[in-house]
Amino acid sequence: MWVFLFLLLQEEPIPTLIERLGSDSVEEREEATCRLRSRVDEAQEELETAAGHPDPEVAQRALEILRTPSPHRLDVDGEMAHLYQHALASLEPGQADRCAALCDAMLSVDDRFAPALGLKKWLEEGFRLTPPAADWSSLRIPPRRTWEALRRRIRETALAGIDRPADGSRCPVAVRCRLEALRIHLEFEQATLEDVLNLLRDLTGLNLILDAQAVSISDMDRRITFRSHHQSVGESLRQILRESGEEYVITEEGVVLVRPAQSSREADRPDSALRDPGGP
């Protein structure tokens, strides 16, 4: 009896779940898809192989699962967008070494990362061509167990002297990149604003807070119904807040502050001109 219960509680091997993506049973295919989505980080290598499977059903499902957002994948996406924006800002005479160092930092995460390879080639061409567009779909996510060490080394080297504050997590550039680069599916049904902000905090790791004035004049019991598909966190948040006459700004301390909408300086507004590495 106990042996039977132990077997039930064991996780099925990743290759077994991938094989079931091509099952004749719709229920088995859907169950395998659901389980792989919940384990997308650890299954990345096998899913990338399965994306080239001769069975189109397996290949298509593997590709869709690989696009599943998880806190770890969103964390890596956001940090890489942060590095890329600093690299673009370094495309000035006399800053080629800094740009190259930032590209090398991105390539230490994924040595085939197309945006970094494109920027390095552009540097080698002597700035004669238009800077390459960023294709974020090529990013390979490193395992969670190695990511923290990689990020720490990058912040101590390539980002040293660039980020303000120095730890990178509260750099306004990094915060803006996370908001505009991270694309997720959202679905709320009769949620409160606090529910929405709590979920976005958990997904992005950002410090989203309500301004005291917003708390005092907003209807905190207002119910929010909202759906978005593969849309940036920043755009989704703007749409949700616009309905209640609110907006967000990024402070110098890297805080995403939700406040009543007001006429503000251009520098305080979300940067709509930010190159969006998650876009087409």
| Residue tagged 């219960």 (tokens) | 5
Residue that finishes a domain, picked among 66, 82, 110 = 66
User: Sign of torsion, CA 140 144 145 146?
Assistant: positive
Q: Are residues 141 and 119 part of one domain?
A: yes
**C-alpha span between 226 and 191 (Å, rounded):** 9
Domain extent for 59: 2-66
Q: What pLDDT does 268 receive? A: 41
Q: Are residues 13 and 76 part of one domain?
A: no
Q: Are residues 156 and 81 part of one domain?
A: yes
Where b means 16+ CB within 10 Å and e means fewer, 104-121 reads ebbebbbeebbbbbbbbe
Does residue 251 belong to any structural domain of this protein? yes
**C-alpha span between 133 and 278 (Å, rounded):** 11
Round to the nearest angstrom and report the end-to-end CA distance of the chain.
Answer: 54
Q: Are residues 82 and 159 part of one domain?
A: yes
Residue that finishes a domain, picked among 14, 31, 66 = 66
pTM of the model: 0.65
Q: Are residues 192 and 205 part of one domain?
A: yes
Q: Are residues 62 and 86 part of one domain?
A: no
Q: How many domains does the structure of the chain reveal? A: 3
**Both structure tokens of 60:** 């298509």
Q: What pLDDT does 127 receive? A: 58
Q: What pLDDT does 110 receive? A: 93
Q: Are residues 83 and 37 part of one domain?
A: no
Q: Are residues 62 and 76 part of one domain?
A: no
Q: What pLDDT does 130 receive? A: 61
Does residue 202 belong to any structural domain of this protein? yes
Does residue 177 belong to any structural domain of this protein? no
Residue that finishes a domain, picked among 137, 166, 195 = 166
Does residue 53 belong to any structural domain of this protein? yes
Q: Are residues 115 and 155 part of one domain?
A: yes
The stretches in the chain having pLDDT less than 50 are: 1-9, 264-280
Q: Are residues 202 and 138 part of one domain?
A: no
Residue 226 burial class via C-beta count within 10 angstroms: exposed 0-12, middle 13-18, buried 19 and up: middle
Does residue 88 belong to any structural domain of this protein? yes
**C-alpha span between 41 and 91 (Å, rounded):** 33
Q: Are residues 199 and 229 part of one domain?
A: yes
- Residue 63: strand, helix, or coil: helix
| Helical residues (DSSP H) of 157-211, grouped into ranges | 172-181, 193-204
